[in-house]
Amino acid sequence: MKPSISILHCRCSSSGLRSTATRFPRYASTSSTTSTSSSSSSSPPSSTTTTPSSTSPKTRWLALTLVSLAAAGAGAYIRSQTPDSATLNKETFTKYSLVSRDPVSATSSLFTLRPHYHSDSNYDVYEEAWRTGVWSVMFKQPQLQIGRDYTPLPTTAATALTVDEENEGYLRFFIRKDPFGEVSRYLHSLDVGADIELRGPQIECEIPVGTKEILFIAGGTGIAPALQAGYSLLNRTSEGDRPRIHIIWASRLRADCVGGVSDTVKALDAPSSRSWFSGWFGSSNSVSQKETVSTVSREQGQSLIVRELEALKSQYPGQITVDYYLDEDNRFIGKNDLAEFIKPSKEVEGQQKHKLILVSGPEGFISYMAGPKVWAQGTELQGPLKGIIKELDPKDWAVWKL
């Protein structure tokens, strides 16, 4: 998924962002006016001078003002101790607490968060999003008032949550620290226990109910949406319906995918000659492939993400396959690698497509594979299909850029 950064404006409509400036509630103060009833008497008026009331109008207004200020202060304090919303939602930011930050590699970590305030509704919000397809939530950087979307990881057998953690609404994220990314640098600077504000869920791609096959092409942390897509699709497995997903994951760092063993024979052939980012960030040095990822796995074990993928494969045997491409080993995704999977089918022309290609990763990766996304009238659109997927003419596949 292409990372997106949004500026959080303080002014908003009822459906927009809520200002993070301190808001004081409006209170209607009421005062009971004491009316002095003069008793009628048949006796003539006394010649004695009338004594004025002991409380002057000025004194009464001062007392009322002090009472109103005290009430407003008490109300503001109570509101400061009560959450605006304990349930994740699209309209306002909800506070979460950082439970742990576990390193995956030198530049990436697994973040585990739980809602700051308990809400039974969070479980239902998550489940609806998982059933729909690929989704994300926005993290807020409060100092700069900007936000960025990140994709939650599904719960697998590798990192199964306890019943209490599920009930508490825990969420996990695979986040890389970008030296130029304000939000990712902010998140990696936080201590365990710190509050983080989230808003969502935002559906990035709805996976149609009739989908039978997905080819997911992931670059770097784009593997998180791939895990989501696999989780969403394979949860629809039944006796008469066994959808399949093939994941092609390109990673620059061995630490991210250490222990990953490719499932197809084609992935074990000679490495491709060109990296997807060679045209964007300079040419990649050609090096001999001294050791495959599978060789490293026997020496160093499996990375956290590889364990997630293997757990998903164990849960749905025969329905998920994964191929790994490692830049450090001079192995890059080429047209021939994709041609093995993008083949014409025998479906009747005009029939609803049941096969889906998803591309997720850095902007350059998506552009190389399927062409860039475009902006129009302040909205990010898919743009025309280009890149090496276009060259393969995937007539029987629907293509979506994340």
Q: What is the pLDDT of residues 225-262, one digit of tens each?
A: 999 999 999 999 988 889 999 999 999 888 888 899 99
- Residue 279's pLDDT is 39
219 and 309 housed in the same domain: yes
Query: What is the domain count for the chain?
Result: 2
Six token digits for residue 35: 């009316």
265 is in an annotated binding site: no
Q: Is 171 exposed, middle or buried (0-12, 13-18, 19+ CB in 10 A)?
A: buried
Six token digits for residue 352: 């609803």
Q: What mean pLDDT, rounded, does the chain reach?
A: 76
189 is in an annotated binding site: no
- Residue 203's pLDDT is 95
| 265 domain-assigned | yes
Write out residues in the chain with pLDDT < 50, as ranges: 2, 10-53, 76-83, 267-299
The domain in which residue 311 lies consists of 207-401
Kind plus residue range of the DSSP H or E element containing 336: helix 335-339
Domain boundary among 168, 203, 238: 203
- Residue 156's pLDDT is 65
Domain boundary among 161, 181, 203: 203
271 and 284 housed in the same domain: yes
Q: What are phi and psi of 312, to 5 degrees?
A: -65, -40
- Residue 25's pLDDT is 38
313 and 371 housed in the same domain: yes
150 is in an annotated binding site: yes
Distance in angstroms (rounded) separating the CA atoms of residues 262 and 246 = 11
272 is in an annotated binding site: no
Distance in angstroms (rounded) separating the CA atoms of residues 89 and 74 = 28
230 and 328 housed in the same domain: yes
138 and 225 housed in the same domain: no
- Residue 347's pLDDT is 55
Kind plus residue range of the DSSP H or E element containing 379: strand 379-381
| 345 domain-assigned | yes
Six token digits for residue 234: 């394979």
